[in-house]
Amino acid sequence: MKNTSALVLHSIPLSISEKDIHVYLETRLLWIAQSCGMISWPTSEDLGQLVELACGLFIFAATVANFIEDQNASSPSRQLEIVLSTGSRRRPQTHHIGLSMHYT
């Protein structure tokens, strides 16, 4: 174990995490849009709001994408509306405080 190193994910700058989450969500939601025959969805504003709501956490982004894609629920556009309507539009003081409203 002499040649091992550790990558502490929570020490990665938020700006880097947000860029990666943006790419992930953009790719995933475009795939959902194509599979459902949707055009010009999601908007760049919607995508930006999702990235902000994720607070740098990939688990949130992945969970939201799964929720939006859920074929047992309503349409992806309606699912996205639900997520955005329950989210805070303001940047939280700490990364995780904004998530608490989604889990209560």
Q: Low-confidence residues of the chain, pLDDT below 70?
A: 1, 88-104
Q: How would DSSP label each residue in the chain?
A: -TT-----GGGS-HHHHHHHHHHHHHHHHHHHHHHTT-SS-S-HHHHHHHHHHHTT-HHHHHHHHHHHH-TTSS-HHHHHHHHHHHS-SSPPSSTTGGGGGG--
Q: Where are the domains of the chain?
A: 13-102
